Amino acid sequence: MGALRDSGSQKPIPEHLIASHEPDLDLGWCFSCKAHTTAKVVTKTWTNSEHRDVSRTYYVCKHCKRKNWYKPSDIYRGNKLGLGCLLIAVLITIIVFYSNKLFGFEYSTEFGLSSSGVVAIVLLLLGLGFSYQYKWRKWVRSQTQTTFGSSSNPSESQDPHG
C-alpha cells in the first residue's frame, strides 16, 4: 500500500498533481497542501462489533496522502447543514430543560444530556468545517490577488478609499 509520509506537504506540489490553479468550488481541494490537488479513492474495510464487514470510501490527496481533501462546495453545504442542526439541537435542548415550565412535563435528564451531547458534537464539527472554510477563503483571496490583482477593472466605479 501507499507509503505515508508526514513531511509530504512540505515539498512543492508537482504540476501533474494539480487539478487547477484557479479556485473552483466543485473541484476537490486539499486543506493540507492548500491546492486543488488530485486525489485517489481509498476504501477501508473493517469488521464492526456486530461481526459485519463495514467499508468506508474517502479521498486521499495524492501529494500529501492525507484525508483532508474535500470539495469546497461540500464544506459550504456541510456548514449550512451543521448550522441548521445546531439550531434544532439547541432548541430541543432548551425545550427539554424548560419542559416542565413550558408544558408541565417532567424534566428528562437522559434526554437533556443526549441533546446537549448532540449540540457539543455539532459544534465540534462546525468548528472543523469553518476552519476549512476559512482556509479555503484565505487561499481564494490570495489566488485571486495574484491572478487578477494587477489587471485593470473598468466596470468598477467604487473606490475603497473614502
How far apart are CB 64 and Zn ion at their closest, in Å? 3
**Cβ distance to Zn ion smaller for residue 30 or 122:** 30
Stretch that binds Zn ion, among 23-31, 41-49, 50-58, 101-109 (CB under 5 A): 23-31
- Binder to Zn ion among 39, 60, 64, 122 (CB under 5 A)? 64
Which residue, 88, 85, 92, is CA-closest to 111? 92
How far apart are CB 3 and Zn ion at their closest, in Å? 15
Q: Does 30 bind Zn ion (CB under 5 A)?
A: yes
140 within 8 A of 29, measured Cβ to Cβ: no
For residue 30, the tally of other CB atoms under 10 A from its CB is 27
**Cβ distance to Zn ion smaller for residue 61 or 89:** 61
- Maximum Cα–Cα distance across the chain: 67
Stretch that binds Zn ion, among 61-69, 83-91, 106-114, 129-137 (CB under 5 A): 61-69
Question: Residue holding cell 424534566?
Answer: 107
How far apart are CB 2 and Zn ion at their closest, in Å? 13
SS3 percent helix, strand, coil of the chain, rounded to 5, is 45, 15, 35
